[in-house]
Structure 1
Amino acid sequence: MTDLTPKERFMRALQGKDVDKVPVCSVTQTGTIELMDIAGAKWPEAHFDAEKMATLAIAGHEIAGLEAVRYPFDGTDIPHALGCKIIEGTYDTQPSIVDFPCKEPKDVNDLEIPENLLECDRVATLLKTTDIVKERVDDDIPVVAGMLGPAALAMSLVGVRNYLMWFISEPDTIKELITIGTDICIEYSNALFEHGADVVCLPDSEAGPELIPPEFFETMILSDYKRLNQKVHGKTIAHICGDASEILEPLSTSGFDGISIEEKVDVGYAKSIIGNKACLIGNISPVETLLGMPPEQVKEEAKACIDDGIDILAPGCGLAPHTSLKNLKAFVAARDEYYLEKEG
């Protein structure tokens, strides 16, 4: 097969088609301190300013060599628009939610969904970032936009304790929130696609078995995942932190083009469950490996991941801000070395 462009390679992998080599990128957050310093676009400003967000996102591709541009670097944009209070974070910590609007089940009835959601400050910033990235990046590089998935949105609105308790005591309330979150994800995803994003990645670890029993995923979340993927107008990736092994089979039927897993999931096992129903993405540890190991060990793990059958080589979750640039470059180089060694 002749050499493919990064975008052709990435999109073909998502479609389950043959590629010349597995794509190497990140479908989760890519901001690091070194990239911020080199690009001149730093946290926390790069979370809130479209130009700086685009600059830092592009740096992951142009400086580190990742074969995609991925943004934003946090997931508080929609929760903020829905009434969550956030703190903006620091140069090496992400924005976070410090208060939420739904303290009691009855509060869900009073939840206000802005009619102009796409014009809300943080959401509009993401759409503008997409425009800037598309203007500045060659069309042969895939653009991956991220947003919280429906379960993550539900938890952001009610807090961790209520989220976990209400699956038992107030299941109808949780289901309503997940449905609301799904509606928002559909609208927001399609707006991102209209602005030029190639793929939308939805981190939704709150749907995973490390937080809720697998049967709740099937009865409370799966149908909305299917509805989401029937309604969006582009490629989608689900990212689940933790050990998602127990929900891989139903998740693979939900319509997501890609499933992003972390290092707790065995790649060989995941491939045996998912088969060709979705593209498997991951699963190099962002902390133990990319942050904590020397470059040669990063390369060893990356090559082993390709050997195990990963379809897109990527970190298993968002990059730790203090991840070194040399390790990111080693991560990318490992993919190329793997195929050179194979040919040799």
Structure 2
Amino acid sequence: MIDGVTYNIVCDEPAAVNDKAILSTDAQVAERTYLEKDYPEGTFAKSGIAEAIAKAKEVAQKEKVTKLEIKEADDALKKALGKLDEVKASGKTEVQTKIAQAAEKKEADYTKESWANFAKAKSAAETVNASETATAKQLKDAADALDIAMKALEAKKPDNNNDNNNGNNGNNNSQTPAIGSVIADASGIFNYKVTGNDTVEVKNMTAKGKAKSSVKIAKNIKANGKTYKVTAIAANALKGNKKVTSVSIGSNVEKIGKKAFANCTKLKTVTVNGNKLKTIGQSAFSGDKNLKAVNLKKVKTLKTVGKSAFKGVSKKITVRVPKNKKAAYVRIFKKGGIAANKIK
């Protein structure tokens, strides 16, 4: 009991002016040094650093504050900073792992175009890895870009023409990805999930893709020497993207998944280029506060618009649809949060 009483007395003692000054300085240094833009999406907020800095400032500015309050604020700040340091260390390890994997690849085994993209990504990753000032985001982005480039490498077709007569007797022995596996095309903008023998869905964006403001989802992609139809956009595929302003969706897409474009706060226009779209999922475009134009003039197949699909979009939004589908689409879009007078 004596130890317990002593501890409480010490911790409840008023903090010295110097203690408050040190805490205030630490908070200010953390605020200047640890910036959200330098960390992969979501990791900064998850660390709790903003809250810890705010609390440390608040405690340091209080006229009357105890040593216990100073200690708790300082511990919370150190804990948050430690989490961000771990994020950067993890990014460093990841990029080094990808570089090591890339070093095992041989140029002679792959097509010229896919190797050129791979070599560029490998060089960029090596530059970032060697930099003492590289941020956690730069490390993560470099690792992701190199991983995408490795997955997009296309094996050369073996030359089985032993008579050197330039015939077309060679066989393509490149391995076909299994259903459920993730692949990438040479553009390196998206990751795709294989959903069938010749179909894929957009799974998410790569680091390269996230930097683009104008995004085009293709009708088809080519990967591993094979052509795939892009028939869906997966749930959460572009969720939270803060760069994209316009999206063009290919003519083979039949489904836009749940929250696929949610909280894309700069997104202004969406165009669907074909007549196969059947489903727009729940909350697919929710929170897109600047979304003003959705062009579905070619779409005559739409059957379902999920609940709150367009909740929180611009009040000036216009959804353009085929004239002979307007009455039906007014009913469909009502559930998604679009008023009848917005359907044109």
Short-chain TM bin: under 0.3
Which has a greater percent of helix?
Answer: 1
TM-score (norm 1): 0.28
